[in-house]
Amino acid sequence: MKSENKHSSKAQLLALLREKKGDSSSGSVLAKELGVSRVAVWKTVQSLVEAGYSIETKESGYLLKPENEKDFLYPWEFADSVYPERESFFYHFLKTDSTMDRAHELALKGKEMAYVCADKQSAGRGRYGRTWVSRQGGLFFSILEKPKLTISDYTLFSLIMQIAVVKSISFICGKKAYLRWPNDIYINNKKIAGITTEISGEGDLISWLICGIGINVNNKAPSVKAVSCEEILGRQISRKEVLCKILEEIDNLKKNFKSNAVYSQGNSNLAKEWNSFSDCIGVKTAVFEPESKDDNFLEKQGKILARGIFKGIDPIGRCIIKTDDDNELYFNHGSVSLAFLN
Ligand code: BTN
């Protein structure tokens, strides 16, 4: 009988081989369990081997040793029993210029939702057109969504992504990571992840929104001001686990904050949660125009617009700066950059 399982044949076969924890599974038993022919099983094994899996073919059957498992980000690695359709939203590239561009293409083709991952990017980009160095071992992905939000409320989506990533990195690294406005993630005072959001709209409404997330996981950090999870933990970790944790946190946050989201006024609970992950509240801050595309533009110090104390974010994600003469200034995402001076 054909299996009712909605996952791809690769996902189903891998699940069965992994259940065996290093023992072999005969082709005929696998064929029966999957409801396909032995030849179909053999073909799926071949395509997994081509994708890089170390599946041994023995007289007793097929064998996937846990110690030979690699950290793959293929769509079938994200088959999920709670969300059977999740796997079908995943796109994976061994190398691409930028996952943002691949996600844009999918948005233009009418996709409502997509997770685009790449092992390497040749033209990874950050905010303000800066370069995001994307070496093997890092986690680089973009999430495409078409939320029913007005353009001015897109920051709520961005706040959810930031909180999900900072919580996941804290959990994975076993120590608290922090958010720095607008959307950098620091641990041990060094940058471990960056997030950028690109949107397209029609009238006041968002047509699509793409959130790009880059995390130094097992790659060497690209500068002395950056750090990776491997450097924090002293061992390599699975990028797939990091990504799954982030997706779990995004789902939780969306559930928790949906009921009290009054979109036109932002979301004060979300802002409170964001502020609880900031290590810069109360810190002297300079506010700059983000005009330079240079990666070291903060050192070059463009035009300073204001100085004051960083007070966190307001419910729509604007940063609040209290100036020396006791004024409160509010700055939108994208309009300025901050340099924390302590
Ligand atoms: C920043 O710190 O300026 C944000 C960096 C965002 C990098 C990620 S990596 C995945 C996605 N693809 C890109 O080209 N950029 C984002």
Q: What share of the chain is helix, strand, coil (3-state, %, to 5)?
A: 35, 30, 35
The pLDDT of 255-281, averaged and rounded, is 80
> What pLDDT does 113 receive?
97
Q: Where in the chain is the domain with CATH 1.10.10.10?
A: 9-68
**Residue 176 contacts residue 124 (beta carbons within 8 Å):** no
> What pLDDT does 292 receive?
52
Residue appearing with tokens 């059957």? 61
> What pLDDT does 3 receive?
46
15: left (phi over 0), alpha (psi -120 to 50) or beta: alpha
As a whole number of angstroms, the distance between CA 10 and CA 43 comes to 10
The pLDDT of 164-185, averaged and rounded, is 97
| Ligand 1 center from residue 22 Cα (angstroms) | 37
| Ligand 1 center from residue 212 Cα (angstroms) | 5
Nearest CA to ligand 1 atom 16: 212
Checking if the pLDDT of 262 tops 60, the result is no
The pLDDT of 92-112, averaged and rounded, is 97
Opening angle at CA 214, ends 284 and 319, nearest 5: 30
Structure tokens at 333: 């995402």
Interval 220-238: pLDDT, tens: 999 999 999 999 999 999 9
What is the DSSP pairing of strand 139-145 with strand 205-215? antiparallel
| Ligand 1 center from residue 154 Cα (angstroms) | 17
| Ligand 1 center from residue 144 Cα (angstroms) | 14
Instruction: Specify the CATH class of 9-68 in words.
Output: mainly alpha
Percentage of the chain lying above the pLDDT 70 cut: 92
The domain defined by 284-340 folds into: SH3 type barrels. (2.30.30)
Name the residue of 117, 196, 246 whose CB sits within 8 Å of the most ligand 1 atoms, as the mutation to test its pocket. 196
Calculate the average pLDDT of the chain.
91
> What pLDDT does 297 receive?
47
Confidence of residue 290 (pLDDT cuts 50, 70, 90): confident
| Ligand 1 center from residue 179 Cα (angstroms) | 16
Q: Which amino acid is at 31?
A: A
Nearest CA to ligand 1 atom 11: 212
Looking at the CA of residue 123, tell me the nearest atom of ligand 1. 14
Q: Where in the chain is the domain with CATH 3.30.930.10?
A: 75-276
Checking if the pLDDT of 98 tops 80, the result is yes
The domain defined by 75-276 folds into: BirA Bifunctional Protein; domain 2 (3.30.930)
Closest CA to 113 of 87, 150, 82: 87
Checking if the pLDDT of 261 tops 70, the result is no
Could you please report the per-residue DSSP string of 11-39? HHHHHHHHHTTT--B-HHHHHHHHTS-HH
Opening angle at CA 105, ends 204 and 11, nearest 5: 115
Confidence of residue 193 (pLDDT cuts 50, 70, 90): very high
Structure tokens at 69: 């498992």
**Residue 243 contacts residue 139 (beta carbons within 8 Å):** yes
